[in-house]
Structures are given as structure tokens and as C-alpha cells.
Amino acid sequence: MGQQIGSVRAQITEMVAALLARRTGAGAAPAPLDADQNLSEAGLTSLDMVNLMLAVEDAFEIEIPQRRMTPATFRTIASIERLVTGLALAA
């Protein structure tokens, strides 16, 4: 993983914000995101979650094991951050 661990949360937050911006339209700014906020409640759909999973794999150069591709793993920015850092440390 070529990224600094400290920037993981910021990168994930940017990905989520970009997905939410597409949902709310070009003129509306999405609300600020909390790391523990439920992403489904924030407005991400199941298709957005799949796109987020693919973007995370690409951005951090990881492969998420199928058993970790669960709603709980992608529930919050913090849970995604734990996944990414855990996979990076295991590599």
C-alpha cells in the first residue's frame, strides 16, 4: 500500500463525499461526514457501496476478501478505515 496510514481516513472520506455529491446533484454540497456516521443513512445506496468497495480496492491497491464484503464492513468511514489498515498490515 503506497499510502500513509494517516491519510487513509481522508481518502475514504473524499470517496464517500464524491459518491454523495453525485446523489445530491452538482449544486448541492453534501453535509459534513462523521467517521462513525452510517453511510446508508447518509444517502449511499447499495450500488454506491459496491462502487465504494471497488474504489477502495483500487485506491489502496488491496483486494478485499469476499468474506469481508459485508454491509457491516462498509457501514461507516471508520469501519472501512479499519478494513484497509488491517489488510495493509497483513500484506
> In the prediction, which pLDDT does 2 show?
43
Rounded to two decimals, what is the model's pTM? 0.85
Per residue in 2-47, pLDDT (tens digit) is 445 459 999 999 999 999 988 776 556 667 889 999 999 999 999 9
Nearest partner of 75 among 42, 26, 30, 51, judged by Cα: 42
- Measured distance CA(2)–CA(56) in Å, rounded: 13
> In the prediction, which pLDDT does 22 show?
86
- Tell me the domain boundaries of the chain: 5-24+32-90
Per residue in 49-60, pLDDT (tens digit) is 999 999 999 999
Architecture of the domain made up of 5-24+32-90: Orthogonal Bundle (1.10)
Give Cα separations from 79 to 22, 26, 27, 35 (angstroms): 22, 28, 29, 8
